[in-house]
Amino acid sequence: MPSTTAEPIKINILGGGIAGLTTALALTKYTPSRLPPPHITIYELRGAPATIGGAVNLTPNALRLLDHLGALQQIRARNYGKECLAMEVFDLYSGAKLAESSFRGPDGKGLGKPPYTALRITRGEALKGVLATIEQHDNIKLICGKKTVEITEDERGVEISFMDGEKASCDILIGCDGIHSVTRLKHVEPERKSTYSGICNAFGFAKRRRTDTGSGLEETHFETTGMNFGRRGALLTSFHNEDRDSVYVGALMQVPEIASGDGWKAAGKDAENIRKDMLERFNGAALGVIPHLIEDAEDVFLWPVFTLSRGGKWATNRVMLIGDSAHAMPPQGESTGIVFEDGVLFARCLGRWMEKGSGAPVKEAFDKYESLRRERIDVAFDESQTVVRTVHDSGWLGHKIRMNIIPWYLWWTRPYREKHFIEDVTTSELNY
């Protein structure tokens, strides 16, 4: 095992998205202070980190971990995102506010100690904040444009072969490469393939219209984020910057068949067809701003939601899956926070293994992480199935029933949700 004069442990990460980057930060932070920081190389398939995507809600637990890793400071220094005190729920046809999922906490300052509210932010800006933090660590290197074609491991380590003919070896490999994970499909569990959930997310960003007098911006019915439920899906409308001059518009909707499993940016007729479909699905809105936002949405993307089965294999002796590569599920309001928790909890287990220096194989740390994490992921997976059902197409009666159930459901599950928003995996007991 490593000593104070030992060579740094070599860790490779496949996937240069926010999961891979935050996991690298966590691994650096939780390496025992008596040991040199690990040499971490992140390999990203694309030519540059992908800054495309919608606007995510960073819940209190997510902000707590970003703060702990030093990334929240970078995000706030750049004035990214818009504070979200609550996600409000509306009936599309009456315009009535039915309920809200609040992040205000008992005194209005947030949840947990110290308190955090939530932050609605574009994926691109969140990634930029984390990348700025990565740049402060000399032990972390990001290499883009590397396509993995083979992964092999033995008792000495792991070797990755890339399409360009290069190879990379390491002591530990971590797959943070998402739902269509090469790490999983080529090595950890090739037979565990993703399946289409039947749900698509069509999204874009709309500039707020000026009022008729031109003296101000068109009023919105939501404070920061509104989830608007219709008979044929749910439309998320949210500010994502302090100026509140742009609105993220994202439609979760049931689409039985898709031509491609990849998310893609729509152009020309494709974009207009998606926009037309959204206008038809959310026709009859009592709130006049809804059709305006759909009509004005720019850079429309269509993103099919794929999932993995509950459970599955997460690790081999030296390879570990983190985030969507291990347990991709439909959106359920906490997805990004769950990924951050994965990385931090795994890094703590690995750091403890290094600290013990018992000579035990690293799989011991992997197994400990899984024993601590499986239950939480299983509960989140079950909750995500409920979310999928709320966006299935329904008739008028079904919609009415749904609108009566949702407030009750949010009230009933509030203690459970707040428990996880307060939970801090940086201090939770490892018993290891």
Give percent of the chain above pLDDT 90.
76
Closest to 87 measured CA to CA, from 334, 307, 298: 334
Place 358 in a pLDDT band, splitting at 50, 70 and 90: confident
- Counting every residue written for the chain, the total comes to 432
pLDDT of residue 334: 64
Write the pLDDT tens digit of every residue in 91-119.
Answer: 999 999 999 999 999 999 999 999 999 99
pLDDT of residue 1: 47
User: How far is 365 from 307, CA to CA, in rounded Å?
Assistant: 26
Write the pLDDT tens digit of every residue in 176-217.
Answer: 999 999 999 999 999 999 998 888 889 999 999 988 776 689
pLDDT of residue 245: 95
**Average pLDDT of the residues of the chain:** 92
Mean pLDDT of 30-42: 96
Mean pLDDT of 380-389: 81
- Give the other-Cβ count within 10 Å of 238's Cβ: 26
The DSSP symbol for 116 reads B
Right CATH for 10-84+120-194+309-389 from 3.40.50.720, 3.50.50.60, 2.40.50.140, 3.30.70.100: 3.50.50.60
User: How far is 204 from 277, CA to CA, in rounded Å?
Assistant: 14
> Which residues, in sequence order, are CB contacts of 245 under 8 Å at separation 6+?
207, 208, 217
Write the pLDDT tens digit of every residue in 63-89.
Answer: 999 999 999 999 999 999 999 999 999
What are the residue boundaries of the structural domains of the chain, listed by start? 10-84+120-194+309-389
Residue 163 has pLDDT above 50, yes or no: yes
Strands 172-175 and 319-321: parallel
Write the pLDDT tens digit of every residue in 286-317.
Answer: 988 999 999 999 888 888 888 999 999 999 99
pLDDT of residue 214: 65
Residue bearing tokens 């966590």 = 26
User: How far is 66 from 81, CA to CA, in rounded Å?
Assistant: 14
pLDDT of residue 4: 47
CA atoms 49, 55, 57, 63: torsion sign: positive
Mean pLDDT of 397-422: 91
Residue 233: strand pairing partners: 230
User: How far is 165 from 76, CA to CA, in rounded Å?
Assistant: 41
User: How far is 347 from 339, CA to CA, in rounded Å?
Assistant: 12
Mark 393-413 as b/e (b = at least 16 C-beta within 10 Å).
ebeeeebeebbeebeeebeee
H or E segment to which residue 287 belongs: none
User: Does the pTM of the predicted model rise above 0.95?
Assistant: no
User: How far is 72 from 63, CA to CA, in rounded Å?
Assistant: 7
In contact, 160 and 168? CB cutoff 8 Å: yes
